[in-house]
Amino acid sequence: MLRQLPAITDPNLLVGISTGDDAAVYKMRDDMAIVSTVDFFPPIVDDPFRFGEIAATNALSDVYAMGGKPIIALNIVGFPVDLPHEILGEILRGGAAKAEEAGVLIVGGHTVDDAEPKYGMAVTGVVCPGAQVTNAGAHPGDALILTKPIGTGIITTAGKQERVSADTLERAVGVMGELNRKASEAMMSVGVNACVDITGFGLLGHLRLIAEGSGVGAQVHVSNVPVIEGVPELLDMGIAPGGTHRNLESLGGIVDWRDDISEQTQILLADAQTSGGLLMAVAPTKLDALLDALSDAGVQTRAVIGEITERSADTPAISVVP
């Protein structure tokens, strides 16, 4: 839809809407650009405080994916007038807790009457012009690093159907509520070629943005992809969100499923994530330094899930191997 808007030619707009990147980057001065993004959605868990935490973490993530430092945020709220106000208070407290953890000031916001609650933030951050990390810089030979396990879409869908254990749901809430701050800071300390955060398009959908943005291909090794404990059992039960199935359909012609990649694995790799990890493409010479920096920063998941390949026009951009 955004492509229908008039094209922007301002030279200070370093990253705009044309490239499918996570956030816009606008140069203010030679030593400073602002990073601007917005994200909000309806509750994905019952607990309003945890929902607030997750929505804020997710909104901040697009700044972290660009290598920016978020500074200020505005709350965006939709809320039914007939629901108890205490619920809204809990949502906002959850968002404020994550903003504080991130060192971000919530400086305002706006609320509208809505049929179902929605919450998120518009976030403004800063980055040094030219240092921003986009989806367009990956090179053949780069390693692909993922910093959170996947499967949150499948788990939260099972949660809505009351078909998931409290333990599994809690694991997903923990994953979604973890800021990508440390991963982003480690990334910027080493320098990578491309990055996206994994959200609604799923792991392969976001990898596709890197492949198309950079004019490269990619190979993913399924056995190296980190998955939240409990997800395979839910896949066995046939549980997956509608958005995940749509993601998988949209990968037709884009992904070459090698050997015997099961349909369940295909669904998993297309699973629509909320507040997922960062997917980075790093030069092989910097891979060890990046893994060390992530480890030093306390990032628990730092999986090398595949590599960037040459793009050839007559084969699918992404291949998935066992």
Q: Which of residues 39 and 178 has its CB atom nearest to Co ion in the complex?
A: 39
Alpha helices, H only, the chain: 48-65, 85-102, 152-160, 166-176, 181-190, 202-214, 231-236, 242-250, 263-269, 287-297
Give residue for tokens 């800063």: 126
Residue 92 exposed, middle or buried by CB count within 10 Å (0-12, 13-18, 19+)? buried
Applying CB under 5 A, which part among 22-30, 131-139, 274-282, 283-291 lies near Co ion? 22-30
Closest separation between CB of residue 151 and Co ion, Å? Answer: 18
Within residues 28-57, the interface with Co ion by CB under 5 A covers 39
Which residues, other chains included, contact 55 with Cβ-Cβ below 8 Å and sequence gap of 6+? 39, 40, 41, 91, 94, 95, 119, 120, 121
Q: Which of residues 39 and 271 has its CB atom nearest to Co ion in the complex?
A: 39
The DSSP code sequence of 37-78 is EEEEE--SSS-HHHHHHHHHHHHHHHHHHTT-EEEEEEEEEE
Q: Which residue is at the shortest CB distance from Co ion?
A: 22
Closest separation between CB of residue 30 and Co ion, Å? Answer: 27
For residue 173, what are its two tokens?
């809430």
* Interface map 84-113 toward Co ion (x if CB under 5 A): ------------------------------
Closest separation between CB of residue 72 and Co ion, Å? Answer: 17
Closest separation between CB of residue 198 and Co ion, Å? Answer: 8
Q: Which of residues 91 and 133 has its CB atom nearest to Co ion in the complex?
A: 133
* Interface map 58-87 toward Co ion (x if CB under 5 A): ----x-------------------------
Whether the CB-CB separation of 122 and 74 falls below 8 Å is answered with yes
Q: Measure CA of the first residue to CA of the last residue in the chain; give whole Å.
A: 36
The one-letter amino acid code at 179 reads L
Give residue for tokens 């609604």: 200
Q: Which of residues 127 and 235 has its CB atom nearest to Co ion in the complex?
A: 127
Which has the closest alpha carbon to 132: 71, 79, 195, 83? 195
Closest separation between CB of residue 214 and Co ion, Å? Answer: 16
Size of the site for Co ion (CB under 5 A): 4
Q: Which of residues 62 and 142 has its CB atom nearest to Co ion in the complex?
A: 62
Within residues 133-192, the interface with Co ion by CB under 5 A covers none
Q: Which of residues 71 and 87 has its CB atom nearest to Co ion in the complex?
A: 71
Within residues 221-280, the interface with Co ion by CB under 5 A covers none
Q: Which of residues 278 and 320 has its CB atom nearest to Co ion in the complex?
A: 278
Q: Which of residues 169 and 210 has its CB atom nearest to Co ion in the complex?
A: 210
Closest separation between CB of residue 106 and Co ion, Å? Answer: 18
Torsion of CA 269, 55, 119, 60, to 10 degrees: -110
Closest separation between CB of residue 179 and Co ion, Å? Answer: 14
Closest separation between CB of residue 129 and Co ion, Å? Answer: 20
Closest separation between CB of residue 174 and Co ion, Å? Answer: 20
Give residue for tokens 């950079």: 214
Q: Does 197 bind Co ion (CB under 5 A)?
A: yes
Which has the closest alpha carbon to 22: 267, 210, 250? 210
For residue 14, what are its two tokens?
């370093």
- Point out which residues bind Co ion (CB under 5 A): 22, 39, 62, 197
